[in-house]
Structure 1
């Protein structure tokens, strides 16, 4: 896909680079300090614009990603100054999701989210063309942009109708399963925590997995008996820090699978640093609250325990205890390795208990002796 330049604050660099490298093998990074204060009118100050322009002049770049939420004014200014396509954090995430999208539902969701995010920018272009600030932009000027704006609005309306139809079908399927006594267990968590690996291990499926972020773009459900319960496991899209509202809206049907589940397995990566682990735990909890999953069983799976020392896993378990104790969920904590199969039987036993109340006992489930 050519070559891209990424502009990102220091503390966001790891996540942003992982996302951008899904799309671009050749990537240049301009690192802003964490205390950088964006200009209200231009986002980047003249000093940073000049530095980025020098980098762009030294090579062939097809896109600049700014890993933040940009206003239409920011994008218009930066495109005018840098003479290259400029997109923000939301569009980068959507571009990565589009790279992995396979189902019709995922493609519709992503296209609609992109168009909705671009609509204010197109509206800004219309305004600027009429003011004479962007003469001849997009071909024959204002008429072309007005026409394109109308086309985008109609396209969004059409996609929304298609998506609502898909959602109704999913809702009916879920309700029918519930009426037949099926329990739904959503496997949720931060992107790249091992959700799909666990789904495959529990169901015998062979869904694609990989080190890239956001590889799952649509839900997959499969029924597996757990004790006396007919349990439908659901693999879901990965969480990401400060998940943008456009993505929450676009993936409403996917996230609803979590909010309506009988129980949630929250996957956390035990190989993360304590700081990253804590951030992802808190962000996951915020997202669960935001989508309405509260007051139900939560099984916290400390995944990838095969990569770290037992003492570190115990420390992470204590950290989870402190965050969840007296909170919004009845919870259990289970250390596992989805890839190596460590404690999968223990996880199934805990699932059997929480799906057949009364059970919701707090605490870390020890490994069987």
Structure 2
């Protein structure tokens, strides 16, 4: 099988990941370090990430790390055990579910005689594979370059670090490294300028949508929670929706109709994940900023996953980082509706218990995006939330102002409409219309 194409500045820097390669997945459980998920759940997630780039899981294991070794992360005996496991399982690749320093990665590769990638490299592989839009590709490449810059030395260990000269001239390896760093800095600078222009364009589009009468509903959730399946179910679109982590990377928007709402915009977003590489947190912030302009947020949760509570906590932490949720009191400035998804994968007894819990809460809907069960209740709930603040207003508009009259009929709920004479004898239309605050504000700007 051929190597999968990903976005990178120099393929030798991150290394090659081959579709179908056999991988040993190792989850270090470091003593004294706090984790959102327990070791077994983190190992399962790491295997899911590996499967998402097409590698085969030869074996997976949790390794308890009492003392972190600066040069290899693991102790000497643990490294030997990893090497033995690689031989026994014919693993060509070692995936470490944690952050490795460049030195640790290089030393492990030398000792194991195999390619080693860490969690950051693994997620970058997935993002590089899946980015579809121009903005997504720019963001991934920028994150990739940031990651590669600290690992340049790995590409030039076959060259001398110092040789001859007059004291201020380095050897050929050092010269090549500096040349590559300069090229990366130049490329990074250009990418940042291009992304800034993209952000400005996205901001203009967002302002245009805010002036438009259509409310925005944003889907958020942990990766593989079923957001894209829900999106496709509601919109009839064909967004990539597979049982893979990070099946969706680029935001997608579609118009939908809701009970009491003629038109709304549904937005699908990138899935959240614990310990997202810092390079990608920064790179994808512009994408996630779409959430901050939403009128309602649908937090999609996979209730069939044993770690759903920890996953939800991670999502809320990201929303807090975006400023959607107040970090002090935990209150959201945008209404959030929890969508408890994948009820078709929950056993009957637990399903009844969860359904009972959902009925007792106003901010929860229990659905199966895969089968369509509960979708009608979800749409009714979202429509009710969008129209909950609507109020009746009485407006008197000249009959000659056809544009504003047409707008009210198209976007408001007209309760009554009659013609009467104005003070100067010019005919007026007196209309009683139900509008929410956003619609009323937009009408006043017409």
Paired residue total = 345
Residue segments in structure 2 that go unaligned for 5+ positions in a row: 1-17, 29-38, 163-170, 326-331, 391-446
**8 A Cα contact 1:302 1:313, kept in partner:** no
- The 1:58/1:334 distance shift into structure 2, 3 A limit, reads closer
Which residue is 1:268 aligned to? 301
Superposed counterparts of 1:179-194, under 5 Å: 179-194=211-226
Tell whether the 8 Å contact from 2:157 to 2:173 is kept in structure 1 after alignment.
Answer: no
Match of 1:366 in 2: none
Map of 2:284 onto structure 1 = 251
State the alpha-carbon separation in 1 of the partners of residues 336 and 291 from structure 2: 11
Per-residue CA deviations over 1:325-345 (Å, capped at 9, x if unaligned) read 9xxxxx610001112111212
Q: Give the corresponding residue for 1:32.
A: 62
Change (3 A) 1:58 1:277: closer
Residue among 139, 145, 150 paired with 2:182 = 150
Q: What's 1:8 paired with?
A: 27
Aligned-partner Cα distance in 2 for 1:321–1:122: 55
**Distance in structure 1 (CA, Å) of the matches to 2:349 and 2:56:** 39
Larger radius of gyration between Structure 1 and Structure 2:
2
User: Which residue of 2 is the match for residue 107 of structure 1?
Assistant: 137
Q: Judge conservation of contact 1:184–1:233 (CA < 8 Å) in 2.
A: yes
> Aligned partners of 2:133 and 2:382: how far apart in 1?
29
Aligned to 2:433: none
Contact 2:250–2:269, Cα closer than 8 Å, also in 1:
yes
> Hey, what's the Cα distance between the residues in 1 that align with 2:237 and 2:358?
30
Q: Give the match's secondary structure for 2:179.
A: helix
CA distance in 2, matches of 1:355, 1:130: 66
Q: Does 1:342 align with 2:361?
A: no
1:124 to partner: Cα distance: 8.5
Deviations 1:219-262 (A, max 9, x none): 00112232235311001111112223222111112211122211
Q: Per-residue deviation at 1:127? A: 11
Question: Which ranges in structure 1 are unaligned for 5 or more consecutive residues?
Answer: 133-138, 326-330, 360-369
CA distance in 2, matches of 1:293, 1:123: 41
For 1:65-76, what aligned pairs fall within 5 Å after superposition? 65-76=95-106
Aligned: 1:121 with 2:154: no
Q: 1:254 to 1:39 in 2, by over 3 A?
A: same
Structure 1 residues 287-326: aligned runs within 5 Å: 287-294=318-325, 295=332, 296-309=334-347, 311-313=349-351, 315-316=353-354
Task: Give distance in 2, aligned partners of 1:321 and 1:346.
Answer: 11
Query: Residues 315 and 46 from structure 1, CA distance in 2 versus in 1: closer, same or farther, beyond 3 angstroms?
Result: same
Q: TM-score, structure 1 length as denominator?
A: 0.83
Shift in alpha-carbon separation, 1:321–1:242, aligned structure 2, 3 A: farther
Q: Deviations over 1:102-134 (max 9, x none)?
A: 2222222112112112222337989998866xx
CA distance in 2, matches of 1:348, 1:244: 35
SS in 2 for 1:33: strand
The 5 A counterparts of 1:68-217 are 68-122=98-152, 140-217=172-249
Higher helix share: 1
Task: State the shift of 1:182 in Å.
Answer: 2.1
